[in-house]
Chains A and B, each alone.
Chain A
Amino acid sequence: MVFKYAKMICLLLLLTLPVQAQTVQITASVDQTTLAVNQQLVLSVELTGEDANRITSVPPPDGGDYLRFYGSRGTSQNIQFINGKTSISITHTFVYMAVKAGSYTISPVTIKYKDKTYQSNSIPISIVKTGTSSPGSRSENREDDSEDLFLRMLTSKQRVYPNEPVIVTFRIYAKVSVTGINPVQMPETTGFWAEEFDLGTRLQTQNEVYKGVRYAVADIKKYALFPTSPGKKTIGPLTLDCQVRVRNRRQSKDVFDSFFNDSFFSRTVTRKISSKPVAIEVLPFPATNKPSEFSGLAGRFDLNATLDKNNVKTNEGITLRVRISGQGNISIIPKPDLFIPADFEQYEPTVTQNINRSGNGISGHKTFEYVLIPRFPGQQRIRPFAFSYFDTGKKDYVTLRSPEFTINVEKGDEEYNSGIGSGFSKEEIELIGQDIRFIKLHSPRFSPLESRFYQSFYFVALLVFPALLFLLALAYQRHMEKLNKNRAYARRRGANRLARKRLSQTKACLGESTQKEFYSEMSRALLGFAADKLNISSAGIISTELEKSLKARGLDAELVDMYIALVQKCDLYRFATTSSSREEMEQAFKKAKEAIIKLEKAL
């Protein structure tokens, strides 16, 4: 039993201990903070410092009603020489038995040495009744279910501004022997710009007391995470596969069993452990006093701008170096908003950056090197430019300004004409030196200054007058058309009435004595009707002309022939001496009536 615990303490002491010089420091730790009644509790009191070995007696802290002091397990020593300094640590181990359930705080160990009083930390423990020691209650204060091996994510800050780094350390805590660590899943860092710290190839192991329990700890990964935008963000867990050496622990108190519980008889198992995700609140930058040059950088920076020379000759290069150094996200430092006068030929700057990824933050510098070639002599000015960042310490914006540079440019030795710029095209080179064409000698026609024809009175008049003329012409044309249309319409409408009237007159003349009048009236009725219908002049119309006009209207040839025949017959009896009988006249009258009706229908 004694052997077993002493061995465990030795194992712990194999790990490197922090160096404490000059004074004595006391640290108390227990092997478990939650235990059941009748379980043992091992309390270690570690003394470190130069004088640690001079303190020989350490009183065991009081266990109160809850813990019964079982006895001392002795002391172990660890002496280290680092850089000529000696560091000694002595651990006193005490064993207690839990006797009563409840919460108890182990009081600090107090030691008097050389008139000084040294005090250790106090340790809260909780003792549960036997059988109620469920895993849930056991892991209450733990990052992981397992008490003897877990992974914690340590964050430097939980409320940051964009681009203010959160230092995230993934630290493994072990009370067991870990022989191998293998990352399975890298932490999810969406919404962050991640810079990983260089922790070296070998893990640095340390001792750390966490919640009163001593662990061997090692930093697995360390990042500086720069949030890219405000809002709530989560840093995801890191998952590791750990090779753990376990002893075949038997609940036996036999000394021989303990002997065989040596590492030689242990086996290795793989355990998967993960850290818990951590929420980070990224605050937006304050809106007040925000400079216009602000580009979103946070941290602390210095600006240094230098010019290698102030007096140059034309076409000689000068170098303007802008160096921004400090702590913060160096990688995202933007190109300075530098205004180079157009009289300089300039090239894209060469950018170099150096980031230091060790220590407690990301620091470094970024350098922009501009090569400028003045093309014109004279005094040139490079105006100061501003670089602005958010100081996370002062919680305010800081604007840095570069100095103003004045450069005296002298005319260079080489052949150079200030009137002519560089970079001629082929066509232009041919034109250099060519003379201009001679002036125009003949006296020109002068026009009043800025006289614009299209803004003059003439312009408007020339647009309006023809338009008026056109409207006049249009009105005239409309009038004529209407008149034309109306006359024809009137005649056509009157034709029937007139024909009827003439036919009735013809009928009155029916008789042998009035033969001539009869035919004359009938002829007038026939010709007049057709002429009115066609809107042609009836005076002096002859039958052949009428026939042509009627046929031109596309009338039935038979009808036209009959109509013309009637007219011709009338003419024949009108002027000839041949007389016709009364029946003949009556028949002709009837025919004429029919012909008029037919023509009326046809037209």
Chain B
Amino acid sequence: MTSLMILMFLFMPQADLGQAGFSFENGNQLYQNGKYEQAISQYRSVIDLGYESASLYYNLGNAYFKLNDIGHAILYYEKAKKLAPRDADILHNLKIARVYVVDKIQVPNPGFIIKQWNRLITFFNTHQLSVMMVAFYIFFLLTLILYLVIRKSHIKSLIKFLVYPSAFAFAVFLLLFLLRLDYDRNHQRGIVLEEKVTVMSAPSEDAKEVFSIHRGLELIITDQSGDYYRIRLADGKEGWLPGSDVGRI
């Protein structure tokens, strides 16, 4: 059963992959000719096929930026950043796009230690952390196995030197990975896509208005009820808004 699944995974999407690459190239061509709307539909067709990549999201973000849709531009830059957290182009364009966000939220300075801690957690994305964790895990077990199996004493002592560092590296990445999973669960981020969104006190249309936010603002989705998201801003303000006004990163 599982082997069948692997086979399906390996062979089935080959035709689609070709199509995805073709659409991507098409989109790039349209972008260069200034036809941003058509470029966007080409890029989006790749996503509709079930594929994603940092470059694809980055290009989509650029196309939206050119159309002055800051909300979608930031959303796709953020998606790109999630896949490639240290790509200089993505970071640069994201910074420029954020200038045009209307709401300037005063985020209380979290302090040096918390800032560094968040940097550490978000330095690698979850995928990278999981790969590294597994790599060190295998390396560590391999050294252990060799240590147990090999009987020649001089090779054994050499291997012994490798066991401890690999165990340490594995432990560090395991911890980082688990912390990152926890961080991701508590930081389901979203971007405001509508020009102006009124945040309500409850998940219904006739609830009391609490405050309003504008296109491109980043927020954290803390809960969901029907079509409404419960959100929290960086400065701690909370409320409910229609889920359709927000794009999940």
Contacts and interface: CB of A to CB of B under 8 A. Distances in A.
A438 to B, nearest CB: 8
Interface in B142-169: 142, 144-145, 148-149, 151
25 contacts: A339-B210, A341-B212, A421-B101, A421-B102, A421-B214, A422-B104, A424-B99, A437-B89, A437-B92, A443-B21, A446-B56, A448-B50, A448-B52, A449-B47, A452-B130, A453-B130, A454-B126, A454-B177, A454-B181, A457-B5, A459-B130, A463-B134, A466-B141, A466-B142, A473-B149
Contacts of A431: 95-96, 99
Given A443-B24, A446-B53, A447-B53, A476 B6 contact: no
Nearest to A423: B104
Interface string A325-354: 000000000000001011100000000000
B53 A421 contact: no
A419 B100 contact: yes
Nearest to A343: B212
A383 B201 CA distance: 14
Contact of B100 (A420, A454, A469, A480): A420
A82 interface: no
Contacts of A419: 68, 70, 100, 102
B91 to A, nearest CB: 10
Given A342-B103, A431-B99, A457-B2, 14 more contacts: A421-B103, A421-B214, A428-B99, A439-B28, A439-B31, A439-B63, A444-B53, A446-B21, A446-B52, A453-B127, A454-B181, A467-B141, A473-B149, A476-B148
Contacts of B145: 466, 469-470, 473
A482 interface: no
**For chain B, what secondary structure do more than half of its interface residues adopt (helix, strand, loop), or is it mixed?**
helix
B122 to A, nearest CB: 16
A375 B6 CA distance: 57
Contacts of B127: 452-454
Contact of A477 (B13, B148, B196): B148
A468 to B, nearest CB: 10
Given A462-B138, A470-B141, A444 B56 contact: yes
Nearest to B2: A457
B149 A476 contact: yes
A370 to B, nearest CB: 16
A2 interface: no
B96 A434 contact: yes
Given A453-B130, A457-B6, A473-B144, A342 B211 contact: yes
A474 interface: yes
A160 B148 CA distance: 87
A265 to B, nearest CB: 80
Contacts of A539: none
A346 to B, nearest CB: 12
Nearest to B92: A437
A440 interface: yes
Residue of B5, B32, B93, B213 ringed by the most chain A CB atoms within 10 A = B93
A601 interface: no
A284 B137 CA distance: 67
A166 B85 CA distance: 69
B81 to A, nearest CB: 14
B96 A448 contact: no
B54 interface: yes
Contacts of B210: 339
A112 interface: no
A337 to B, nearest CB: 10
Given A339-B209, A436-B97, A453-B130, A444 B137 contact: no
Residue of A431, A444, A474, A480 ringed by the most chain B CB atoms within 10 A = A444
Given A446-B52, A457-B2, A440 B58 contact: yes
B50 A477 contact: no
A432 B25 CA distance: 30
A473 B147 CA distance: 9
Given A421-B101, A431-B95, A477-B149, A436 B65 contact: yes
A583 B1 CA distance: 86
Given A432-B99, A434-B96, A440 B59 contact: yes
B86 interface: no
Interface of A: 339, 341-343, 383, 419-424, 428, 431-432, 434-450, 452-454, 457, 459, 462-463, 466-467, 469-470, 473-474, 476-477, 480
Contact of A421 (B58, B104, B149): B104
A232 B120 CA distance: 60
B131 interface: yes
B20 interface: yes
Interface string B93-114: 1011101111110000000000
B55 interface: yes
A442 B89 CA distance: 14
A426 to B, nearest CB: 12
Given A454-B126, A463-B134, A443 B100 contact: no
Nearest to B61: A436
B131 to A, nearest CB: 6
Contacts of B100: 419-420
Nearest to A480: B151
A435 B47 CA distance: 26
A437 B65 CA distance: 11
A480 B150 CA distance: 11
Closest A-B pairs by Cβ, 5 of them: A454-B130, A446-B51, A421-B102, A444-B53, A444-B55
A436 B66 CA distance: 9
A171 to B, nearest CB: 51
A432 B130 CA distance: 38
A44 B80 CA distance: 103
Contacts of B32: 439
Given A421-B103, A440-B89, A473-B149, A466 B55 contact: no
B17 interface: yes
B53 to A, nearest CB: 4
Residue of A436, A439, A452 ringed by the most chain B CB atoms within 10 A = A439
Contacts of B53: 444-447
Contact of B25 (A343, A421, A443): A443
B149 A459 contact: no
B46 interface: yes
A440 B55 contact: yes
A442 B97 contact: no
B187 interface: no
Contacts of A436: 62, 65, 92-93, 96-97
B128 to A, nearest CB: 9
Contacts of A463: 134, 137
A277 to B, nearest CB: 48
Nearest to A468: B141
A437 to B, nearest CB: 5
Nearest to B31: A439
B211 to A, nearest CB: 5
Contacts of B47: 449
Nearest to A340: B211
